[in-house]
Structure 1
Amino acid sequence: MASRAHTAIVIGAGMSGLSCARALVEAGVDVLVLEARDRIGGRTWTYQHPVQGKDKPLHFDLGASFIHGITGNPIYALAKKNKLPLYVMFDGDGTPASTFSSTFSPSSSESSSASTSTTASSTSSCSCTTSSSSVSSPSTASDLERSEGVYGPSGPPLEHKLAQRLNFNVTRAFFSDSSTYAQDSPNEVPSPSESLGGWMKDAGRSSLFAGLESERDRAYALALAESWEGYTGARLDDVSLRYWHSEVTFRGPDATFIDGYVGIYSTLHADMVKSKRGEVRLGEIVEAIALSDDEESVCVTTRVGGSEMTYTARHVVCTLPLGVLKHAPPRFTPPLPKRRLEATRRLGHGLLNKIIVSYPRAFWPDTEYFGFLPSAPSEAFLPLLKDRAMMAQNLNVVNGQPALLFFMGGAAGEALEAVSDAHVREHIHKIIAHHFGCHTTSVPEPEAVVVTRWNSDPFARGSYSYLPPGSDPQDFRELSRPLWNDRLLFAGEATDPDHFATAHGPYITGQRQAQMVLNALALEDLEAES
């Protein structure tokens, strides 16, 4: 079945698709957005979870949740314009902090913080040590509790000085020294085949094991480093060192949305559909994209249930995720160029899954992030956690919800998708009770356990892109290159070498490709007049 022709079609109602469509509509262009899912948002998804006995449902961002660098960031500007409440991440002394390193700062650790005391925090017979490694030594017990949480295999937190050293080493190696070596070394450039993981595990070059004399402590450092696969979305051995932190992005502290990313993507959607120029159709799975015989338009064929629909437009903007383009792309006629296919193959599409565990009350310290070293309960949960730590964010600090958010990236994220929800619920609760039992006289049962499986989502096939050894930032640029004389354009986080693996990247590329469409339309009008 065919429908009327449109000026522009946007494939995908995620951040890039809605950003592109809104910009086009506001410029007076009629736009049809085709979305395979039964919801908007794509890989930004604020999930509402009802809880019996509570008036309001819990809400969790199952996909993107951070604004990475608020200075100059258009997502931050949009949030401020629409008065969306934010939690901005600062270190203990009020200075800006990056998303994960907000609790791990080199300066105090390197000085050994002889003046910093260790504070006991316990409501049971178990003594649990918590302390700080923020930029300046904290002055109160509350500051000490908020800033650090590395829990040992036996359950309670590690001794302060060791936890401080581990935090410092992992953060310095992961963010600072590796970046300096890869991008600013006066003597050498990493080879195209070298990985971030290979460099970090090399005691002769990496700072990961500095000051750690025992094999046990070195194993702790490596286990914590492996938990940062939640940041890369891939195994550290699968991430290019040569281009590690080569991107130019926004500075300043990171932030999260107190009420979820829905405030952003619902605003874009509302702005786009408030006039008759914009329309979103859900449940439309794109199967084919073809240039017309006269090369004046593009036909898009979708599957809706058991039926087919064909739409025609002068220009089409494809915002399908890299994972879909790699594993289950629509049929392109004419076929995509070989250089496009090769770039798609070389780039990696990583995985970050989440486990959110909500309780009737928070019975853990008022700390923003926790690192849980390998333990018997975590190994029983997923065998590969024998050698990997787990990282969790305390949502009670962020938005008052008594919940913990576990970041399961790379290998851990893949392993998570192979187990059932019941298995996750049973074992994640045991892990939490194992580590936090010393903070309370009783550990309640969780009210809700939510698990994501982005690899299994046929409309995502993963979470976000990364650069493996052998790839190049130019591959991102290749994925952004318009085809078919600007009839077919591409947007999304995997089309920008400076803003990939972020939520602002899709927004920026959507705006950029909207302008490309407007430029092409203006040129066509000019040629028609001549």
Structure 2
Amino acid sequence: MIIVIGAGVAGLAAARALVRAGKTVRVLEARHRVGGRILTVRDDALRLPIELGAEFLHGEAKEAADAAREAGLLVCEVRGERWRVEGNRLTNLGDFWGEVETVLGKLRPDREPDRSFQDFLDTNPGGSKLARARQTAREYVAGFHAADPALVSERALADGGAPEEPSEERLARVLDGYDGVPSSFAMEIADVIETGVVVREVRWRRGRVSVRAVDAATGQPRDHEGSAVVVAVPLGVLTARDGEGAIVFDPEPRAHLAAARKLAMGDARRVILSFSEPIWESVSKRRIPKQAELTTMSFLHGADEHFPVWWTMMPVHAPVMVGWAGGPRAWEMSGLPEDEVVYRAVASLARYLGMTTRRVASAVTAAWTYDWGADPYARGAYSYALVGGSTAARALARAEEDTLFFAGEASDAGGRNGTVHGAIASGERAAKQILRARRR
């Protein structure tokens, strides 16, 4: 039997591929649901699902797009205009990706020695002419990559840190809810999935694995024996030394854990606000250019201390906005009471729109947020490479003695870390490694 630890899309993709190949598989998931860092909730008052985890398909996103299509889900490309907050004014951002690329395009994938993105910025690339672009790029790295600019690798960002082709700039969302992807995977292999099973220890030697686990509700043993294991848990769980969710390996796969520690788990915090009406469309005319309007706004960028980026549900016209904080801002909010985080989000949006916090708060009909940093089975949002860690994902993806295999977005060596399609690809890669090993 092949044991898969984790029923996020990486683990489910690995298990599905192995089951399709005729292998006996058992999937163990600590939560009482599948999907991992895809977390979709629904409210009868809204036409759209609420995504508390992964929301977008980035670029072509072939694996995620194929999975959505196979599940019969409706995928819609994000359209609309990006705006920027500049002092007391909102201005059309225009070519957002072009502005980011003017800075990230100066990064060197062969930089020796490697350095942090902040160290790169401190060299003042582009001089005063690119001052605003550098700020945009810094916010992009912290937000999109959920990374600390002072820690993330220049070499890693240079190799896949920003879209290189127009098709890679594409964003799309699953209008039926992103949870339809893991649900469709799980439906196909439902009889091999056990939820509410917390893995504590993996004992192994070549060709044999003993997984010590307990029932999440009762604490009773739920141990399993197998010939191989796919470890498809988030990086934050893989590198955890203690606490709920931590897994002990005996013996330790030292090379893999060393590679994992050259990566870091970034955090991201979002607050979704539902309004009685699209409040951003009521912004003062003095705040926007003459004859401009915000009815087709998709993103609103700025440098707010708590939630620097906001977006709407475009192309669907709905009275909902999402506030986003990535990197150090998100970690700073992890563990705070939910009411405090929501208040910060409301105040942030009020500052951007030039309205009082009371006015914005009075228009809010519902709010949602989730603390991934405090979730013991995630310990953050998604991964990024530390200085010196630009090849760590490739090392993490290697099989150990044809017995230990690793999957998850952190182990995708194609620059797709932090994405659903990268996670799916990593699970399918792990399954192929196992099948090749069985043929030898």
TM-score range, shorter chain: 0.7 to 0.9
Q: Any conservation in 2 of the 1:174–1:200 contact (CA below 8 Å)?
A: no
> Aligned residue for 1:518?
435
1:300 Cα deviation from its structure 2 partner: 0.6
CA 1:357–1:244 in 2, change beyond 3 Å: closer, same or farther? same
Give runs of aligned pairs for residues 34-73 of structure 1, distance below 5 A.
34-48=28-42, 50=43, 54=45, 59-70=49-60, 73=62
Pick from 12, 15, 27 the counterpart of residue 18 of structure 1: 12
1:199 Cα deviation from its structure 2 partner: 2.1
CA 1:22–1:359 in 2, change beyond 3 Å: closer, same or farther? same
1:149 maps to 2:83: yes
Paired residue type of 1:299: S
Paired residue type of 2:336: V
Name the SS for the 2:389 alignment partner: coil
Q: Any conservation in 1 of the 2:277–2:363 contact (CA below 8 Å)?
A: no
1:344 maps to 2:260: yes
1:87 Cα deviation from its structure 2 partner: 1.9
1:336 Cα deviation from its structure 2 partner: 1.7
Pick from 268, 275, 284 the counterpart of residue 197 of structure 2: 284
1:472 maps to 2:390: yes
- Matches of 1:418 and 1:300 in 2, distance apart? 31
Give runs of aligned pairs for residues 164-203 of structure 1, distance below 5 A.
164=93, 171-172=97-98, 174-183=100-109, 189-203=110-124
1:349 Cα deviation from its structure 2 partner: 1.5
Paired residue type of 2:269: N
Task: Return the TM-score normalized by structure 1.
Answer: 0.71
> Aligned residue for 1:369?
299
> Aligned residue for 1:78?
67
1:398 Cα deviation from its structure 2 partner: 4.0
Give runs of aligned pairs for residues 463-502 of structure 1, distance below 5 A.
463-473=381-391, 475-483=392-400, 485-498=401-414, 499-502=416-419
- Matches of 2:60 and 2:126 in 1, distance apart? 30
Could you tell which deviates more after superposition, 9-18 or 224-233? 224-233
Gaps of 5+ in 2: 281-293
Q: Any conservation in 2 of the 1:392–1:405 contact (CA below 8 Å)?
A: yes
1:268 maps to 2:185: yes
1:430 Cα deviation from its structure 2 partner: 3.1
How many residue pairs get aligned? The number is 413
Give runs of aligned pairs for residues 233-382 of structure 1, distance below 5 A.
233-247=146-160, 252=167, 253-273=170-190, 278-291=191-204, 295-304=206-215, 305-328=218-241, 329-337=246-254, 339-364=255-280, 365-366=294-295, 367-374=297-304
- Matches of 2:139 and 2:160 in 1, distance apart? 22
- Matches of 1:496 and 1:466 in 2, distance apart? 11
Gaps of 5+ in 1: 1-6, 91-145, 184-188, 213-217, 375-384, 524-530
- Matches of 2:219 and 2:49 in 1, distance apart? 34
- Matches of 1:21 and 1:211 in 2, distance apart? 48
- Matches of 1:24 and 1:229 in 2, distance apart? 36
Name the SS for the 1:44 alignment partner: coil
Q: Any conservation in 1 of the 2:214–2:223 contact (CA below 8 Å)?
A: no
1:226 maps to 2:139: yes
Task: Return the TM-score normalized by structure 2.
Answer: 0.85
Paired residue type of 1:406: G
> Aligned residue for 2:349?
432
Q: Any conservation in 1 of the 2:33–2:195 contact (CA below 8 Å)?
A: yes
Q: Any conservation in 2 of the 1:224–1:373 contact (CA below 8 Å)?
A: no
> Aligned residue for 1:206?
126
Describe the superposition over 1:487-510 as per-residue Cα deviations: whole angstroms up to 9, x where unpaired: 221111111221222111111111
- Matches of 2:47 and 2:81 in 1, distance apart? 29
CA 1:68–1:57 in 2, change beyond 3 Å: closer, same or farther? closer
Describe the superposition over 1:354-385 as per-residue Cα deviations: whole angstroms up to 9, x where unpaired: 111111221222200002444xxxxxxxxxx1
> Aligned residue for 1:125?
none
Name the SS for the 2:23 alignment partner: coil
